Amino acid sequence: MKQVLVTGAKGQLGRCLQSISDAFNDFEFHFTDIAELNITDSQTVSDYFKTHKFDWCINCAAYTAVDKAETEVDKAKSINVEGVRHLAKASEEAGAKLLHISTDFVFDGKQNIAYTEKIKANPLSVYGKTKLDGENVIKDFLSRYFIVRTSWLYSEYANNFMKTMLRLSEDRNELRVVVDQIGTPTYAKDLAYFILELITKDSEDYGIYHFSNLGVASWYDFAKAIFEIKAIDVTVNAIKSESFPTPAQRPVFSVLDTTKTKETFDYKIPFWRDSLKLALMNLK
């Protein structure tokens, strides 16, 4: 039975992986978070790999507080760059394959067609820069790796846009949501299934891949869809980003082209509204 390490297991993607792991009984999963494995400590990571003899490492651990990263630069680097370096080094020494989760925020959002894996990254924020630096660390250390970039993750777990909108609607009948940032909402459980099916295939088509649900939306569209599906009577007003300034600059357009992923792995990706309906149904 192959041994699989999952870091960041208490985050929403990690929890989605846990929720479906019983369906993948060819693997023995080791779900860890900072209490079990602090990836920013190189010796701890090295010792952990030597003890468990992993075949795969799925790195879901990340510093994702986009705005806080502008002032907590060292903390973002310690997790998104140095932590990744330690995992990559340990994976190489152990002969394990690394699957790392990255982000659409590595792009500047200045083009108006979906981003392929071949387009040069140019992050606008500290968060995006540290995630790109983490990607580059992996490419420097490893030849056997998968970097999966995704966008606008949400799920039943942890904090995310879908749950925030539902919470705000409990005591407000009117909300203002940004309309001029365009991307694709992605259900973390769809990504979790893709990840586990990818490692099941034991593919050697290594490299960078994009995974998001299909379709295009603004945050305004996303919010409207949540309330329409749940039949919640809330007025959603569209505002421009300049009316809602944030410390970190975000890409205006960050739709990911998933053609390479679909064709390489012969994988069918759901449309974002269909997945949103499923996520809302699964939400307790």
Q: Please calculate the CA angle 89-92-93 and round it to the nearest 5 degrees.
A: 85
Annotated active-site residue 48? The verdict is no
The catalytically annotated residue of 127, 154, 187, 220 is 127
Q: Bridge-partner residues for 74, per DSSP?
A: none
d(CA 171, CA 127): 32
The number of residues making up the chain comes to 284
Integer CA distances (angstroms), 217 to 131, 254, 259, in order: 23, 10, 18
Whole-Å CA distances, 160 to 12, 133, 206, 223: 9, 24, 30, 12
**Active centre residues (catalytic):** 127
